Amino acid sequence: MARLLITGGAGFIGSAVVRLAIARGYEVVNLDALTYAACLDNLASVADHPRYRFVRADLRDRAALDAALATHRPDAIMHLAAESHVDRSIDGPGAFVETNITGTYNLLEATRGYWQAAGRPGGFRFHHVSTDEVYGSLGPGGRFTETTPYDPRSPYAASKAASDHLVSAWHETYGLPVVLSNCSNNYGPFQFPEKLIPVVILNALAGRPLPVYGAGLNVRDWLYVEDHADALLRVLEAGALGRSYNIGGENEARNIDIVQKICALLDERRPAARPHSALITHVADRPGHDRRYAIDPARIRAELGWRPSVTLDAGLAMTVDWYLAHEDWWRKLKARAGVGERLGVAV
């Protein structure tokens, strides 16, 4: 499996996969439309590598997908490109339907044509990367398994759930060799500064309020992005055809605890007149805000021998240190439209 085409490789998780795949010896073709969420600087360390190629193409443009596959002839595709921000999906769900559902359909059809024309090579893989948000919301107990019924509750989650179903159907109906994975909230270096953890770090550094939705009691299972990239390559290489794998960080935490931990890390590294936690400000909750997500990682652990390597405390410390050391990177992104504004309150 030498040549891997990655969609969305200029995004947060995609760029981590591109960097890791290059380090592991793959040839990588990164296909990305470069939306507001993309950042080619994430790929500076591999941009000139002889095994790296970039193709600017949009999932909504079927002809561009056909051309990219015909030109680059990948042995596997890992599909990460998506509209990914829940708050933006509340304000503008149309883009989520177009990219996440229709775009995935276009990619599946382009892939099917390419794979059939190539004589249906048995080793080919289409890996669809999805989210645990498709499962809906948990109460205080229980965890999501791969057989938990889908119950998406935001336009983002519904669009990802639809794309998962399309991928499974293309396997059952056309025999396309697919694997799927659904993972929990990622965090780490290069995360776009509109998601919770970078927002908190950057607002705290600026002495600005730290917005916590509602009481901050929502629980997420936090996965360090480089662990996720490692798990994705493992699923691609060893996952069973047609099977999905839940990927979690084994790090459940309430949002308010995440914010408090970041404040404590910054109190040590950048002491201010008052503790950074004095900036915490509770704001109106997100409509339909899921209460708790938690991944049961038993399948990926038992079948693929994978488990996360980074604890939440270690990962948060590495992340805070990375943002402190990469001000040039995040300053440019904060200047983009809508970044730093409260989104997703319209109902």
Ligand X SMILES: NC(=O)c1ccc[n+]([C@@H]2O[C@H](COP(=O)([O-])OP(=O)(O)OC[C@H]3O[C@@H](n4cnc5c(N)ncnc54)[C@H](O)[C@@H]3O)[C@@H](O)[C@H]2O)c1
Q: Which residues are known catalytic residues? A: 132-133, 156
Q: Using an 8 Å Cβ cutoff, are 73 and 3 in contact? A: yes
Q: Interacting stretch for ligand X, rule CB under 6 A, among 69-77, 118-126, 179-187, 208-216?
A: 179-187
Rounded distance, CA 38 to CA 9, Å? 8
Q: Which one-letter amino acid corresponds to residue 221? A: D
User: With binding defined as CB under 6 A, does residue 82 bind ligand X?
Assistant: yes
| Stretch 17-76 residues interacting with ligand X (CB under 6 A) | 32-35, 37-38, 58-60
Rounded distance, CA 179 to CA 276, Å? 43
Local structure of 327: helix, strand or coil: helix
Query: Shortest distance, CB of residue 7 to ligand X, whole angstroms?
Result: 6
Q: Choose which of 5, 78, 84, 333 interacts with ligand X (CB under 6 A).
A: 84
Query: Shortest distance, CB of residue 6 to ligand X, whole angstroms?
Result: 10
Rounded distance, CA 296 to CA 128, Å? 19
For 4, residues 6+ apart whose C-beta sits below 8 A from its C-beta are 21, 26, 27, 28, 29, 74, 75, 76, 77, 78, 236
Q: Interacting stretch for ligand X, rule CB under 6 A, among 4-12, 63-71, 146-154, 268-276?
A: 4-12
Taking each helix axis as running N to C, give the angle between helix 255-269 and helix 312-325, from 0 to 180 degrees, rounded to the nearest 10.
50
Query: Shortest distance, CB of residue 339 to ligand X, whole angstroms?
Result: 12
Helices (H) then strands (E): counts for the chain: 12, 13
Sheet holding 3-7, edge to edge: 52-56, 27-32, 3-7, 76-79, 125-131, 178-183, 244-247
Q: Choose which of 183, 233, 263, 343 interacts with ligand X (CB under 6 A).
A: 183
Query: Shortest distance, CB of residue 129 to ligand X, whole angstroms?
Result: 5
Q: Choose which of 89, 106, 131, 154 interacts with ligand X (CB under 6 A).
A: 131
| Stretch 142-171 residues interacting with ligand X (CB under 6 A) | 160
Cβ-based nearer residue to ligand X, 230 or 276 = 230
Q: Which residue is nearest to ligand X (CB)?
A: 11
The alpha carbons of the chain give a radius of gyration, in whole angstroms, of 20
Q: Interacting stretch for ligand X, rule CB under 6 A, among 79-87, 264-272, 305-313, 320-328?
A: 79-87
Q: Which two tokens stand for residue 191?
A: 């995360």
User: With binding defined as CB under 6 A, does residue 239 bind ligand X?
Assistant: no
| Stretch 274-313 residues interacting with ligand X (CB under 6 A) | none
Q: Using an 8 Å Cβ cutoff, are 10 and 57 in contact? A: no
* Phi, psi values for residue 328, rounded to 5°: -60, -40
* Phi, psi values for residue 81, rounded to 5°: -60, 130
Total of residues contacting ligand X (CB under 6 A): 29
Q: Choose which of 5, 14, 96, 250 interacts with ligand X (CB under 6 A).
A: 14
Query: Shortest distance, CB of residue 215 to ligand X, whole angstroms?
Result: 22
Rounded distance, CA 69 to CA 67, Å? 6
Local structure of 260: helix, strand or coil: helix
| Stretch 202-231 residues interacting with ligand X (CB under 6 A) | none
Q: Interacting stretch for ligand X, rule CB under 6 A, among 6-14, 266-274, 318-326, 328-336?
A: 6-14
Q: Choose which of 4, 5, 13, 232 interacts with ligand X (CB under 6 A).
A: 13
User: With binding defined as CB under 6 A, does residue 99 bind ligand X?
Assistant: yes
Rounded distance, CA 86 to CA 100, Å? 13
| Stretch 188-207 residues interacting with ligand X (CB under 6 A) | 192
Q: Which residues bind ligand X (CB under 6 A)?
A: 8, 10-14, 32-35, 37-38, 58-60, 80-84, 99, 103, 129, 131, 160, 183, 185-186, 192
